[in-house]
Structure 1
Amino acid sequence: MSIPEVGEPAPDFTLPGTIVRAGHRTDGEYALSAEIGRPVVLAFYPGDASLVCTAQLCSYQEELDGFQDLGVVVWGISPQALDSHEAFARGASLTFPLLSDPAGRIVRAYGLQAPGIGLRRSVFLVGPDGVLRWRHVGLVGLRFPKAATIREQVERLVE
């Protein structure tokens, strides 16, 4: 499938995910359609605990309070299982949900499959109306948008 364009409805999905807060793991189902009314940042990343993925998600964690102040939901999405996500979240002190897409169904729906690496490191901002409002799709996977860049996009959306 091709990468959805800004202005198009974001492909809906439901994925299992886990969140670690105050040392406790909580698993659940996360549905994009359940977040209608709130902006959602979808951060697709190739793998738990890799150097670049850790840097990316930790930078978003540092800005999490700022995102939450704007009413934004932040989800990390990768192919690893929930146990791997838990270990990553604990090791990197991540407190936002990490969703598991082991079959790559959502990666394909967003057009992010990449031979050899599995998926392209990418970030999508979905508006409160479920429409894609901004995207950054990596070609190689070593670069990612900074939290400040995402925050600027969110601020434009919620103004």
Structure 2
Amino acid sequence: MKLFTLALIAIVMVVVAVALRPRIARADLLKEGQIAPPFTTQMVTGETEAPVSLADFHGKKVILYFYPKDETSGCTKEACAFRDGYARYTNAGLVVLGCSVDSAEAHKDFIRKNGLPFPLLLDPGKKIATAYGAANGIPILGLDRRITYVIDENGKVLKVYPSVDPSTHAIEILNDLGVANAAPPAQAKPAPPTSN
């Protein structure tokens, strides 16, 4: 009985501590037509890390999706849906970037286990998530909200997805952009041999 009472007191103390902890306010979501906040960070592609900034993608449409955590069920579903439709994205000239608070090693494991062909951004200080209104979506755990932005070729927010179904979201974006059936780019035919 004494052990039960101690456990109950410990649980109550944790709940009170969480309830009294200062709340970090969430930033507002960006609106369509706004300039997307610039960012510079590291991206993980396969087993490599490289510097990246939003400016690197000027002239291309970017799908920037925020998700709470690598290797969780909803996040894995969403990432695999982007993976499964990746050829359609690239055929339509779209860039896919995932972003969460996970470490480079966690991203590498997530990419390896699920065969993800697109980069995952590092955001340890939540600067990107904060600028895009995705930070502190799950305040108790300090995880990002599940939000996606489509950024146009000139760096403006084209579309905002504040409510995402991880299993259907990837195709939803393709449908909304009118590129769900994007054909592969035409292959250049080799020049015929010339006779001298």
Do they superpose with TM above 0.5? yes
Tell me the alpha carbon deviations over residues 115-151 of structure 1, each in whole angstroms, 9 at most, x when there is no partner: 224211011000001000001113xx7x335211111
Whole-Å separation in 2 of the counterparts to 1:18 and 1:97 = 5
| Aligned counterpart, 1:147 | 170
Q: Paired residue for 1:116, among 140, 145, 148? A: 140
Q: Deviations over 1:36-65 (max 9, x none)?
A: 100000010110111110000000000000
| Equivalent residue, structure 2, for 1:13 | 39
Where does residue 127 of structure 1 map in the other structure?
Answer: 152
Query: Does structure 1 residue 59 correspond to structure 2 residue 59?
Result: no
Q: Which residue of 1 aligns with 2:18?
A: none
The letter for the 2-side match of 1:136 is Y
For 2:106, the aligned partner's letter is: S
Secondary structure at the aligned position of 1:40 is classed as strand
* Matched residue, 1:98: 120
The answer for the alignment partner of 2:30 in structure 1 is: 4
How far 1:15 sits from its partner (Å)? Answer: 1.4
Count residues with an aligned counterpart.
149
Distance in 1 (alpha carbons) for counterparts of 2:44 and 2:177: 24
Aligned-partner Cα distance in 1 for 2:175–2:153: 16
Q: Which of the numbers 82, 89, 112 marks the counterpart of 2:111?
A: 89
What's the counterpart of residue 9 of structure 2?
Answer: none
Report the 3-state secondary structure (helix = DSSP H, G, I; strand = E; otherwise coil) of the residue aligned with 1:29: strand
C-alpha distance in 2, partners of 1:134/1:41?
Answer: 9
- Deviating more after overlay: 116-125 vs 65-74: 116-125
The residue type paired with residue 15 of structure 1 is: T
Structure 2 contact 30–160 (Cα < 8 Å) conserved: no
CA distance in 2, matches of 1:98, 1:106: 13
Say whether 1:71 aligns with 2:93. yes
Instruction: Give the C-alpha shift of residue 101 in structure 1.
Output: 0.5
Task: Tell me the distance in 1 between the aligned counterparts of 2:70 and 2:112.
Answer: 11
Largest Rg, 1 or 2: 2
Report the CA distance between 1:154 and its aligned residue. Answer: 2.9
CA distance in 2 between partners of 1:12 and 1:154 (Å):
23
Q: Which runs of 5+ in 1 are unaligned?
A: none
